[in-house]
Each structure stands twice: as C-alpha cells, then as structure tokens.
Structure 1
Amino acid sequence: MTLAIRSDRPLCTGCLLRRLGMTTHGEVGPFSGQISSIHYERGQVVPPHCASSSFVMIRNGLLKVEVSNEAGEPGVAGFLFPGEPVVTNTLFRSAIVSALEPTTFCILDLKTVAHLPDRSGSMFCAVIEELSAQAAYDQQRLIEARIGKVRDRMLRFLEQIEQRSGKRSITLSMSRDDIAHYLDTTPESVSRAISQLTREGVIERNGPRHFRMIEQKRSLAS
C-alpha cells in the first residue's frame, strides 16, 4: 500500500536527506515529490528493486534477509532495522526479503531526481555511500555472528540489536530457528545461550521474546 507523506513530518534520524541539511519533508523541496512510502504487513515478501532507479530505507519495522546457497536452499543472511537501506536484494538475485513486523519503507525515485538541477549530485553521492556502508556492515555482522562460543555469538547478536534499535529493552521478532540459522547453530543452543546470559545477569528476561540488556553486568561477564 502506497502512502502519502505529510510535508511537516520530520525526516527519520538516519535518513540520508538529513545529510543534505534537511529536517522535514517540507524542506526537501524539489525532492519531496520523488519520495513515497510503502507499507508491508508481517510475513509479506518485499519485491526486489533496482538500485539504479530507487533508494529504499526502512522507516519502521523489521526485515529478514534470506539468500539461497548453491543447492537452492534459503538461509538467513541478516536482519534490517529502521534507518537502514534495503541493499541486499539489489546485490543478490536469489535474496528473499520479508517483513517480520508491520514495516514501512521510504522510497526515493532516483531516475527523477537525476533530472533535478539542485543537489542531485550530492544526493547520488549520499546514496552510493549509504549502500556501500550497509553492504559492508551486513558482511561484517554475518562474519562476527559465526565466530566464538554460542554464548558469545548470542550476546554479540543482542548487543547489535540494542545498538541498531537504540533501545536497552529489545524484542526478538525473529524466530529461534532464524536466529539459530543466522548464528550457525541450533535452536536448542540458542535457548541454552539465552538461559546462560540470564543466569549471569547479562540480560533480564521479561517474556519469551522480550529482554533488557544490563550494562554493568555485561562488562563483568565479558
């Protein structure tokens, strides 16, 4: 579903338009007509998009990225959070991107922006930088997710969610199977790692999927 964006609505904190000195959609000027918003419900698959024609950033929600191996079997390659560009399904034809929560995207039409006289060069530079940085972050996180003991992998995973969401209290919208696949382990090992971190006082469990990170305990346990 495509949504209209009010001109007085503030830009997201991580929006690349902020890097060009704008704070609301009304300040985007000639770019405002090139920005649209699309909403996906939980479980919906996000259609692939072309990086040369559009720039897609998550406004709210959560995405799961799956990439098929040589045998054609899908595996969890990562998760995308608000303020992060959707880059993976532009790099891998076999990638499947789906919403784990109700998710809204902001989409910038780059083909139209290219014909605008003001700041189009700065816009394209910002887009290239964002896509390159996101691809590098995704690769680094995937490597780190599979190094060390399962307890350490799980802690690193939770710390990344805390950092990317900007919240000490976090909710795991992804399934244990998805987490296990991403961390290259089993769902049972994920459960044991969570129990161990809870016993150590590194995390506080407030439900099956709700946790709070304890900073002072974390430094002692590391």
Structure 2
Amino acid sequence: MQHRDLGLTPVHESQDDLCVARVPVFAKLPRATQLEIAGYARPRKLRAGEALYRQGDAIAQLFVVHTGTSKLTQSRADGEWLVRTVGPGEVVGEHAFLTGARPDDTVTALEDSQMCVFDHRDLGRIISAHPQVAIEMLRAVSTRLQRAERRITALAGTDAVTRLSDYLLGSPFARDGETAVVTLPMTKREVASYLGMTPESFSRALARLTKSGAIEVDGPRIRLLDPAKLTS
C-alpha cells in the first residue's frame, strides 16, 4: 500500500517542552520513558488553512497536536460537516493506527500549527515495550466516544438558540473591559454544522440572541453582553 509522504524530518525537543508530555496517552509515563518516546517523534509544521491529511488518504502516522488548533471535517452528500476541533495535546489519526482503515475525515489547520508525528511502525515498537500506552490509548478512545454520545443526546434534546447559547458559554473568551468576547474559530457555516443545525437556523439563533440583548455580533467576534440571558 502506498502511503502519503508527509515530508518529515527528525525533531529534537527540549526536556521542558516535550510534545508527548502533553498527551494523556503518554502523560502518566515516567519522564525517562517520555524522553525515549519523544525520540521517535517527527515534526510537521502546518500553515493556517493547510491540510494535514484528507479524507480517504492512506496514512501510516499518528499525529499529536503540539501547538495551534485544527479542525476535523467530513465531506457528505449534503456538504462538508465539522466533526470537532483539536488543540495542543490532542491526537488525530489513531483510528487508522488501530484499525488500518483510511480516515473518514480531513484535518485542516485553523492557524499556524506544529504536529508531532509517530510512524505506525515506531508506535508498534513503543506499545510492545510499554503496554500501558495501548491501555491509555483505548481509554482515550473510550472517553471520546462517551463525549460524542453525550453531545448527540444534548443536540437531540435542545433547540438552536439553546445549542448556540451553550456553545458560546463554553467557548474560550477574551475580555474587553467587563465584557467577554468570543471569537469564532471557524466560519459560521462550520460552527453551525458542529452544532447540528443549518446555516439558516444558526443565523436565526444569532438574530434572536442579538435582539434579546444577550449578545452583539461583529463578524467572527461575539460580545456576551448579558451572559445570564444565555442560560435562561
């Protein structure tokens, strides 16, 4: 099988900035073991908007986000849908490692980012030497599945305004004086797909929250004028 060439070069991480130390799968291992595993890592830098891999690619690597944020999307008959976003310490590509299947998603950098990359062959050696890694990997997959099930249940039982309100209240924010400001990390269409609604429903929900005085919209920046109204 031909695998995609990712143009990787060796990486030498400082002991104070180990990529693997950020990852739950490796975080509980002794420092000496983390340093050993870090020796297998390769860096991959991505520019904002650049794809790490695409849906259907044959890949033979596991990717750990070191810096930056990326999005996972799926192409379907009714368009492109956002699956989730990943940030430092999170892993993508583990499904291909565990099952050998080609990915059913595309990973694209939302900002300039760096990944730590492990070849499947090297990861196999790591697991053979440290079986606890496999257990932690399965635990991480199980946790993600549980979160996905909870999200599906939550989306099924709430309307568009409630979904958007919960999303805004749970998003990172900056301060503008006394006001919290959320900057959408993606386009409004992508956020809508993540929340399980059409772009039209998303726009109507924004309009309702704006009219109520809960928020003020300025492009991708949303000022939370009255957070209490988002919980009512």
TM more than 0.5: yes
- 8 Å CA contact 1:88–1:135 kept in 2: the answer is no
Aligned equivalents of 1:89 and 1:116: distance in 2? Answer: 17
User: Is the 1:145–1:183 contact (alpha carbons within 8 Å) kept by the matching residues of 2?
Assistant: yes
- Correspondence for 2:190: 178
Query: Does the Cα contact within 8 Å between 1:87 and 1:135 map onto a contact in 2?
Result: no
Tell whether the 8 Å contact from 1:84 to 1:134 is kept in structure 2 after alignment.
no
The equivalent residue for 2:41 is 35
In structure 2, distance between residues paired with 1:196 and 1:109 = 49
Using the alignment, how far apart are the partners of 1:161 and 1:219 within structure 2?
A: 16
- Write the distance in 2 (CA, Å) between the matches of 1:58 and 1:109: 15
**Runs of 5+ in structure 2 lacking a partner?**
1-6, 174-179
Match of 1:155 in 2: 165
* Corresponding residue of 1:19: 28
Deviation at 1:119, TM superposition (A): 5.8
Q: Which residue of 1 aligns with 2:71?
A: 64
Contact 2:70/2:86, CA 8 A, preserved across alignment: yes
Partner of 1:111: 121
* TM-score normalised by structure 1 residue count: 0.71
User: C-alpha displacement at 1:2, in angstroms?
Assistant: 4.3
Which residue in the other structure is 2:203 paired with?
191
Separation of aligned partners in 1, 2:78 and 2:95: 16
Identity among equivalent pairs (%): 21
Q: What CA RMSD, in Å, does the superposition of the two structures yield over aligned residues?
A: 3.7
Alignment partner for residue 210 of structure 1, among 210, 221, 224?
Answer: 221
Change (3 A) 1:64 1:92: farther
Q: Equivalent residue for 1:9? A: 16
**Gap runs ≥5 in structure 1:** none
Aligned AA (1:35)? A
Deviation above 6 Å: which 4+ runs of structure 1?
none
Among candidates 80, 86, 97, match of residue 75 of structure 1:
80
Q: 2:27 is aligned with what amino acid?
A: R
